A and B are shown apart, each in its own frame.
Chain A
Amino acid sequence: MRNLKLIIQREYLARVRNKTFVIMTFLSPLILVGMFALIAYLSMLNSSEQRIIGLFDETEMFASEFKDQEQVQYLDLSGKSLEEAKQMVNEQDYYGLIYIPENIDRDLKGVQFFGKESPGLGTIQAIEKTIADRLTREELIERGIDVNQLNEAKTEVRIEIQNFSGERTSKMSNYIKMFFGGAAGYLLMMFIIIYGNMVMRSVIEEKTNRIIEIIVSSVKPITLMMGKVLGTSLAGITQFTIWVLLAGVLAMTSFYVLGIDIFTVQKSQLETVEEIAQPEIAQLVMDVLNLPILSLIIFFLIYFIGGYFLYSAIYAAIGAAVDSETDTQQFMFPVILPLMLGIYVGFFSVIENPHGTVSTIFSMVPLTSPIVMLMRIPFGVPWWELVISIALLIITNFAVIWVAAKIYRVGILMYGKKASYKELFKWLKY
């Protein structure tokens, strides 16, 4: 135990003191925040742009319908001829020209939009809606239906989804669950790949440095392997903690520097959202609060540890089996495959049907269960499924660590031998 602690300490310091680690730790959030800030800045530029759209209306019905908005200004050019109007729009560099012919019918045939470039989908939809609304109103009046009465008669239905234990859910909450589950699964995959690779590289380093035999004459190979896995994971946790803290601080400063007031932005956005859908925003907050946050965190930790250890042991064994990093390729595919599979199953199958057969099976299979189950948990998983999945994960962990330790024990003392799968299998019996 004393030696395990010493090894963890050394591995941790070796990782953390590494220049690349330091640079990555402090540069990545900067790059990330810089990117977000740039996008925010660009979209701000974009949205402050004023557009002028010409209107050539032969029916003379719609001029009053197109009301100027913050970013779009409509200019009635109906007094001129169509050719003149087109020419003017072109010369003045307006955004475009709407042409509404005299004999417009209900399916809006004949309405045209002239522009230098094709307009955005949103712009087209807004124009179509404006014209259609007016036509609908005309039609209603023609048929003798009172518009006000019709509006009063409209009812709004919002289905409340509720499970049998009385927890309420909604469409919105499904998105939130997807977001939290997906983020957790994705984070785990990234962590496994980045830090698993670090474990592997550190094993290879000890082999190529030829220090390994000096160390295993003092400690058991499995102690060294576990110390490496644990020390590296602590370095990873340190990095993530720094990222979260830095990202927070940097986001605040960059918003401040760029003059985007995060509070007023949120407020005004909230206000507009509230105007349209006040009950929904309240529901959103409720949904986030309603997530089983404590159990989410606990299961995240369980699957995080289980998954990370499982894969790190495999990475350590691969590192021991080869002489240099270039030889690792043949072994990497079987490691990456289940990870990718987990992510794909998670993003396609779980979101479609969180409790379907595919999702359930993949949340039991130990190599994919950490990712898939993490994505399923926010949707509520029966306790017995969790028990089976975790039990399988723990059993597999022991088995894999046992096998990995055997390969590791033999591999670290093998030099200049290119290991094949057949060779590895033989090592198990040494």
Chain B
Amino acid sequence: MGLSQGVLFIPILYMENLLVAENIYKQFGNFTALNNVSIAIPRGSIFGLLGPNGAGKTTLLRIINQITMPDKGQVYLDGKPLHPDDIAHIGYLPEERGLYKSMKVGEQALYLARLKGLSKTEAKERLEYWFKKLQIEGWWDKKIQELSKGMAQKIQFIITVLHRPKLLIFDEPFSGFDPVNAGLIKNEILQLKEEGATILFSTHRMESVEELCDYMALIHLSNKLLDGKVAEIKREYKSNTYEVGLDTENDAALIAELKEKFVIGNTNFKSINDDLKLTIQLKDGETPNQLLDYLLGKARINHFVEVIPSVNDIFIKTVTQNA
């Protein structure tokens, strides 16, 4: 990617990338938490940071938030090395999140917003907007201990986005959220993207990456194994395999015939027909049209779909390959 070549590339990189983390290395005692990890997050995109538990995701997010300092490497925001004042441009929802139990909701939100650099009146105005938007106007004078967990999560979300940061960082944003709130937060994240925010989130739940992310990076055992556009990665990982549902006179005969020409496997999908369900992997250079031509004379084709690897498949494949 040329990231390590440094300065020359930065102006180009930062025109399209809001945040660039370059060769980040971090060690805790004898344990290497991050080993030369680089990521670049394009402006206005949603970037998913994937990895099993303990891979180093949270450490990377903490370094970007300047909570932890890297041993080596540099983080650039808008092309400039990260500066303490940049916290005003970043909104961070950590995985371990909570609020002061005995403090009133409004007071607490005001305090946290002001720590991010908002003035008191500004913070109050925006809080009122958000409280109205999420229909929680009545909570201002309640104490956190009177609220349910889901309610507290809404407050935490508001606090994260209140100062309108350019970069939003969510660490496992959907863990602990009930389905209703998770859906609500997902819609808000998409809306924030529409409004121009760049979003980085870490998760080990693949389906959320599938749904939301434009880009992703996979971290495993402190190393980055993979990164890029989600669509491109998927294209790279697809294996020219097709899922078919066939209506034939003699299933066994067709299977024997197919086995000679292709690699076939069993599969299952929802269907109203009592079909023969198969996956058929083509050789390099063969096209789906050729497969269709071949099948047309032999069976009625009720179902024909390309098998696109899910992020989950890619994840498992990459991790086991590198284990």
Contact = CB atoms under 8 A, between A and B. Distances in A.
Given A215-B112, A215-B115, A218-B87, A210 B29 contact: no
B269 interface: no
A154 interface: no
A150 B278 CA distance: 133
B92 interface: yes
A216 B61 CA distance: 13
Contact of A413 (B62, B97, B100, B114): B62
Contacts of A216: 67
Given A6-B111, A10-B111, A220-B84, A214 B92 contact: yes
Contact of A426 (B29, B84, B101, B102): B29
B115 A6 contact: yes
A429 interface: yes
A23 interface: no
B90 interface: yes
B55 interface: no
Contacts of B101: 205, 209
B64 to A, nearest CB: 10
Interface centre among B67, B87, B103, B111 (most CB of A within 10 A): B67
Contact of A14 (B28, B93, B103, B115): B103
A209 B100 contact: yes
A14 B28 CA distance: 34
Q: Find the residue from A10, A211, A212, A426 having the highest chain B CB count within 10 A.
A: A211
Nearest to B163: A218
A274 interface: no
A214 B28 contact: no
A12 B93 CA distance: 26
B111 A214 contact: no
B116 A430 contact: no
Contacts of B29: 426, 429-430
Nearest to A221: B67
Interface string B101-138: 11100000001101110000000000000000000000
B246 interface: no
Contact of B97 (A205, A206, A213, A219): A213
Interface of A: 3, 6-7, 10, 14, 18, 205-206, 209-221, 413, 415, 426, 429-430
8 contacts: A3-B115, A205-B100, A210-B96, A211-B99, A213-B92, A214-B98, A217-B90, A218-B87
Interface of B: 28-29, 62, 65-68, 84, 87, 90, 92-94, 96-103, 111-112, 114-116, 156, 159
